[in-house]
Structures are given as C-alpha cells and as structure tokens.
C-alpha cells in the first residue's frame, strides 16, 4: 500500500511540475540521482526491517507459555 501511494504521489508531483513549468525537484546530475535512490532505498529497507522485527516480537510476546508437563 505504501508503495502504491508513493508512486501515485510521485506521478502527481511530476504532472504538477510539468503543467506549471516548474523544474522537477530532483538532482540534475547522475551522482545526485544515485544518492537520492540510495537514501530512499535505505529508508525503505530500514522501515521494512523494523516492521518485521516489531511484528515478530509482538507474535512472540502474545504466545502462551507451553511447559512439557502441561500435556494431557
């Protein structure tokens, strides 16, 4: 869902800049573009890792404790 919202927002910004002849808010040099992609990828991967870690810890926190002597 986040990816779809990001893509729609990016297209809207591009269309807005094109209609009103505003320069695109991106770096003109290839090195700047590579740095922007690297930063965005870093944020995305970090968000993914933290959300997975949080989901995994919440699953383990809610799981009931099972002891070997409890089986009937």
| Mean pLDDT to the nearest integer, 51-70 | 66
Q: Is the pLDDT of residue 35 over 70?
A: yes
Mean pLDDT, rounded, for 35-52: 88
pTM score of the predicted model: 0.42
Sign (positive or negative) of CA dihedral 11, 16, 18, 22: negative
Q: How far apart are CA 38 and CA 54, in angstroms?
A: 24
Does the pLDDT of residue 6 top 80, yes or no? yes
Please report, for the chain, the start and end positions of each structural domain, with discontinuous segments joined by +: 2-59
Q: Quick check: 24 and 14 in contact, CB under 8 A?
A: yes
């Amino acid at each position: 869902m986040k990816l779809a919202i990001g893509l729609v927002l990016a297209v809207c910004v591009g269309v807005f800049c094109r209609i009103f002849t505003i320069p695109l808010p991106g770096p003109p040099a290839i090195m700047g573009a590579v740095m922007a992609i690297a930063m965005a990828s870093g944020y995305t991967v970090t968000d993914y890792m933290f959300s997975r870690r949080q989901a995994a810890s919440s699953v383990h926190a809610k799981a009931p404790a099972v002891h070997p002597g409890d089986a009937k």
